[in-house]
Amino acid sequence: MALSGIQIYKLLPQTNCKECGFPTCLAFAMKLAAKQVELSACPYVTEAAQKQLAESAAPPIRLVTLKAAGGEAKAGNEVVMFRHEKTFYNRPGLFVRVKASEGAEAIGKKVAEADAYKVNYVGLDFTLDGFAVEADGGDFAGAVKAVRGASKRPLILIGKDPAALEPGLQALTGETPLLYAANASNWEAMADLAKKYTAALVVSGETPDALADLTQKIQAKGVEDMVLDPGGKNMSQMLTAWTQLRRLALKSNFRPLGYPIIAFPCDAKDEGVAAAQAIAKYAGFVVLSEFKPEAIYPLLVLRQNIYTDPQKPIQVTPGIYEINQPKPESPVLVTTNFSITYFAVANEVEGSGLPAWLVVCDAEGMSVLTAWAAGKFDAERIAKTIKGFDVASKVSKKRIVLPGHVAVLSGELEAELPDWEIKVGPREAVDIPAFYKQVLM
């Protein structure tokens, strides 16, 4: 079991050096017991103490990594119930399911299409994480090989008969796939198979007690990487089960249930809604029934938004950006380095075909209004950015367009940049092209 704060304190140097960021070793020990800091923050802990503290220092939910030549899919290492408490770390992997009965040719085409899918969102490239192959009576080994011929991404092998799954595992030498699933009737054989091929193993049970019993038995056989499937007949039951598992792992430090969760919205009545729920609370791997770009895209965006550190928003690099090959007489637009704000402005100007210089100020990743309210986007900072990137040397007509939401800064900016003409643009990015044509041309 995990150690208490007092037990951890007894193993620390007890020097109160404050180098860990806390005033006393006892305060640090309490935070370590609550899974709110990492042991590495203490520079003076002894090697012997590190070994004793390993369990308390480890995240309450084990990190499980599926590996393949084309990348990795990680789940686990989470330490909070709610994103705003700290952050979520490992985004749930999105997998598309294929069935062996579909035949190798059809599987190859389907996987190749899904594998090639890539969409850009605020400067980030989104793709699927892997594929799930179900042994439903067809040529399973052939199906796995067909997937491998079209994609190098990580795999989940689905089937409850170890004998049926083994031929597929034999085709994945050097990889770490995920096997689905061990239950009360087949756990021994599935554990032996997972251990033999160094695979992660899904453990299926209808109650937390049943899952905990199986994970402990399977761990005793030498399998450490496990994923939980608590089942559930509808979304309400699934949400209840996932939340219970998460709370037991995080709040009670109950190690037998400290593993990622797998979700199968592909079996739900409304797959899109079920998948969104799984991403939000608290799946580590999500298996979808088929590849549909119009359904995949919103799930990828939702996942990115939830798993972006709330204390570290998505940002672009501050600087001066050229849009539509601007000329010296082209206007200078100003905005913050919040990624969504930048792309909203840049996409509208680019789509209009009008040339402009876009100056991005360092506002610590905040939007215009948020940064202004926090004192991170003011006349002094804007002027410093304009001067720092030597914008004046690139233009012959010195015009700066402020976002409409911070029109109040126009007077102050005129004082900071007396040689520049300051104009107040529209409040919304969508209105920039019309403003450009009416005011700046």
Output the pLDDT for position 87. 86
Residue pointed to by tokens 């050229």? 322
Q: Are strands 262-263 and 226-229 parallel, antiparallel or unpaired?
A: unpaired
Q: For the chain, which residues make up each domain, given as ranges?
A: 5-57, 64-306, 319-440
Instruction: Determine which helix (DSSP H) or strand (DSSP E) holds 158, and give its type and residue range.
Output: strand 155-158
Q: Which two three-digit tokens encode residue 392?
A: 């004046």
Q: Which two three-digit tokens encode residue 213?
A: 């019993």
Q: Which two three-digit tokens encode residue 348?
A: 């509208």
**Helices and strands (H and E) in the chain: how many:** 17, 17
Q: Which residues of 24-52 are buried (b: 16+ CB within 10 A; e: fewer)?
A: bbbbbbbbbbebebebeebeebeeebeeb
At 60 the three-state DSSP class reads coil
Output the pLDDT for position 59. 78
DSSP 277: H
How far apart CA 210 and CA 215 sit, in angstroms, is: 9
Examine the pLDDT at 142 and tell me if it is beyond 90.
yes
Instruction: Determine which helix (DSSP H) or strand (DSSP E) holds 226, and give its type and residue range.
Output: strand 226-229
Output the pLDDT for position 312. 78
Output the pLDDT for position 60. 87
Burial of 259 (0-12, 13-18, 19+ CB in 10 A): buried
| Intra-chain end-to-end CA distance of the chain, in Å | 71
How far apart CA 67 and CA 47 sit, in angstroms, is: 30
User: Comparing C-alpha atoms, which of 230, 172, 231 is closest to residue 196?
Assistant: 172
Confidence of residue 32 (pLDDT cuts 50, 70, 90): confident
pLDDT (average), residues 81-93: 90
CATH of 64-306 given 3.20.20.20, 3.40.50.1970, 3.40.50.970, 3.90.1150.10: 3.20.20.20
Confidence of residue 219 (pLDDT cuts 50, 70, 90): very high
Burial of 296 (0-12, 13-18, 19+ CB in 10 A): buried
Q: Residue 87, CB half-sphere, CA atoms under 13 Å: how many? A: 13
| Dihedral angle over CA of 116, 120, 125, 127, nearest 10 | -40
CATH topology assigned to domain 319-440: Rossmann fold (3.40.50)
Instruction: Determine which helix (DSSP H) or strand (DSSP E) holds 179, and give its type and residue range.
Output: strand 178-182
pLDDT (average), residues 204-230: 96
Bridge partners, residue 90, by sequence? none
Over residues 313-366, the pLDDT tens digits come to: 788 999 999 999 999 999 999 999 999 899 999 999 999 999 999 999 999 889
Say if residues 433 and 425 touch (Cβ distance below 8 Å): no
Among 28-42, 60-74, 85-99, 184-198, the range scoring the smallest mean pLDDT is 28-42
CATH of domain 5-57: 1.10.15.40
Q: Which residues of 362-377 are buried (b: 16+ CB within 10 A; e: fewer)?
A: bbbbbbbebbbeeebb
Output the pLDDT for position 440. 84
How far apart CA 26 and CA 12 sit, in angstroms, is: 9
How far apart CA 437 and CA 366 sit, in angstroms, is: 28
Residue pointed to by tokens 């997937």? 147
Instruction: Determine which helix (DSSP H) or strand (DSSP E) holds 302, and give its type and residue range.
Output: helix 293-306
pLDDT (average), residues 369-381: 93
Q: How far is CA 253 from the centre of its chain?
A: 24
pTM over 0.85: no
Question: Which one-letter amino acid corresponds to residue 325?
Answer: Q
For residue 282, whether the previous peptide bond is cis, meaning omega lies within 30 degrees of 0, is: yes
Output the pLDDT for position 2. 60
DSSP 176: B
At 419 the three-state DSSP class reads coil
Q: Are strands 71-75 and 64-68 parallel, antiparallel or unpaired?
A: antiparallel
At 133 the three-state DSSP class reads strand
In degrees and rounded to multiples of 5, residue 318 shows phi and psi of -60, 145
